[in-house]
Each structure stands twice: as structure tokens, then as C-alpha cells.
């Protein structure tokens, strides 16, 4: 008998076939009075804002509301990286030059009223710098989005220190929220275990040379 040859596993394609996922455009319609949005609508009204639209997310079907809110009713999530003065001033200059605000921030209901933005701190501060009274936002009722900050924050690329500090803050916030969970239960939000350790190091010593230790920690630490 001829010797058996090992069967090669077919590598899964990373790219989905065109038009095979999500909802059709017309299926994304969602009335603002729909049950999943009722609490969001009530909160927006209490904050003195206006709901201007609603829809379902075209990929996952999640309910979303579009609103214009007073700038003081939205705050960045408390575990985000520190504000970059240079970046938000540059954004303010661009917005002022165009004279139009076209990039809604993402927000979720905050635990104690108002809203948090996990992706929009610099745009929010840019609008405040310009003296704006209100800002446009895409509101997701799913508050867990607030923890997915590293995936959502596309305003400015994170360096290792910023990523590590954010992950450490998220880690601490998740523990405060429910300290009965194992680390593996929220590893999804933290990207990699090494960043937690590095974040705590940066908190103790801002000038810490994390780049030297990161490759080693990535091999040693897991959730």
C-alpha cells in the first residue's frame, strides 16, 4: 500500500463572500418607539437632547438611535487614555475651517445618567473648544460597547503606553463592576494579558521602558 500522506487543512478565507452577511437596506428600518430604544429615548429627552433618527445596525441588527445632545451630557469613559492637547486642537481647527460637524461620536448610556463615549473624546473636546452647544451622536443601548474601547477608538493611533494604560483602567473597571468573574470572562475587552501588567507599570512609573519588556511578557502571560 502506498504510504498515507498528511491531509492539508484548508485555510479559512478571511474575506466573506460579497453580500452574504447582515441585513438588507430596507430591513434596517426601526421606529424610534421600538421597545429596545425606549430607555435611550427617555434619557435623551431628560438630558435636553433630540432624537433625530433610528435604525438597525446593518451587520448585526442591533438597535441604534441618532441624537443631538448637549455637549455637557456626554463624557468620555473614565478608563480612556489621556486627552491629547495637540490632537483635539488640530481637530477643532479642521472643524472650524469646514464650518460643519460631520462625524458623529459613538455613545452609550452611562451608569449614573447621561452618556459615555468610548470613541469620540477628541471630537467632543474639539467641539467644546469651539464653543459648540450640542453634538451629534450615534447611541447604542448596549453598554458593553464602552468596554470595547481599543477596538472602537479610531481617532488617533494608540502607542504601547496608551494601550497599556487604557487596558489597566478597563481591567480595574471590570473588576469593580463584578469581582466574581474570572479574568477569562472579560479577556475579550483587554486585547492581551501583557498590556495589563505594562499598564500598572506605567501608572507607577510614567517613563517605564515598556517596549523592552513587551515581547517577553507577551510570551509569558495569558488569561
Q: Domain residue spans in the chain?
A: 26-155, 158-223
* Cell numbers standing for residue 207: 517613563
What pLDDT is stored for residue 7 in this prediction?
Answer: 45
Residue 156 has pLDDT above 60, yes or no: no
> By CB neighbour count within 10 A (0-12 exposed, 13-18 middle, 19+ buried), where does 26 fall?
exposed
* Cell numbers standing for residue 177: 463592576
CATH of 26-155, one of 3.40.50.2300, 3.20.20.70, 3.40.630.30, 3.90.1530.10: 3.90.1530.10
Give CA–CA dist 167/150, Å, rounded: 8
Residue 22 has pLDDT above 50, yes or no: yes
Give CA–CA dist 24/17, Å, rounded: 15
What pLDDT is stored for residue 172 in this prediction?
Answer: 83
> Could you give the angle at the alpha carbon of 115 between the alpha carbons of 109 and 120, nearest 5°?
115
Q: Is 70 helix (H, G, I), strand (E, B) or coil?
A: strand
Rg (CA), the chain: 21
The phi and psi torsions of 9 (rounded to 5 degrees) equal -75, 135
* pLDDT confidence band for 83 (50 / 70 / 90): confident
Q: Is the pTM of this model over 0.75?
A: no
* Cell numbers standing for residue 203: 501608572
Give CA–CA dist 40/65, Å, rounded: 8
Element (H, E) at 139: strand 134-139
* pLDDT confidence band for 10 (50 / 70 / 90): very low
Residue 121 has pLDDT above 50, yes or no: yes
Taking all residues of the chain, what is their mean pLDDT, rounded to a whole number? 85
Rounded to the nearest angstrom, the gap between the alpha carbon of residue 35 and the centroid of all alpha carbons in its chain is 24
Residue 8 has pLDDT above 50, yes or no: no
Amino acid at each position: 500500500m502506498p504510504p498515507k500522506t498528511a491531509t492539508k487543512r484548508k485555510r479559512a478565507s478571511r474575506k466573506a463572500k460579497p453580500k452574504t452577511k447582515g441585513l438588507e437596506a430596507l430591513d434596517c428600518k426601526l421606529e424610534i418607539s421600538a421597545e429596545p430604544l425606549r430607555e435611550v429615548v427617555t434619557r435623551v429627552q431628560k438630558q435636553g437632547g433630540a432624537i433625530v433618527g433610528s435604525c438597525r445596525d446593518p451587520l448585526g441588527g442591533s438597535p441604534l438611535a441618532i441624537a443631538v445632545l448637549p455637549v455637557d451630557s456626554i463624557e468620555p469613559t473614565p478608563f480612556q487614555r489621556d486627552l491629547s492637547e495637540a490632537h483635539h486642537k488640530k481637530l477643532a481647527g479642521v472643524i472650524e475651517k469646514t464650518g460643519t460637524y460631520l462625524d458623529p461620536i459613538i455613545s452609550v448610556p452611562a451608569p449614573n445618567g447621561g452618556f459615555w463615549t468610548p470613541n469620540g473624546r477628541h471630537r467632543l473636546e474639539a467641539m467644546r473648544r469651539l464653543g459648540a452647544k450640542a453634538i451629534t451622536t450615534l447611541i447604542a443601548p448596549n453598554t458593553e460597547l464602552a468596554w470595547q474601547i481599543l477596538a472602537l477608538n479610531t481617532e488617533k493611533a494608540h502607542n504601547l503606553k496608551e494601550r497599556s494604560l487604557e487596558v489597566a483602567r478597563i481591567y480595574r473597571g471590570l473588576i469593580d463592576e463584578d469581582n466574581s468573574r474570572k479574568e477569562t470572562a472579560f479577556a475579550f475587552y483587554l486585547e492581551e494579558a501583557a498590556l495589563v501588567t505594562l499598564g500598572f507599570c506605567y501608572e507607577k512609573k510614567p517613563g517605564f521602558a515598556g517596549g523592552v519588556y513587551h515581547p517577553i511578557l507577551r510570551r509569558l502571560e495569558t488569561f
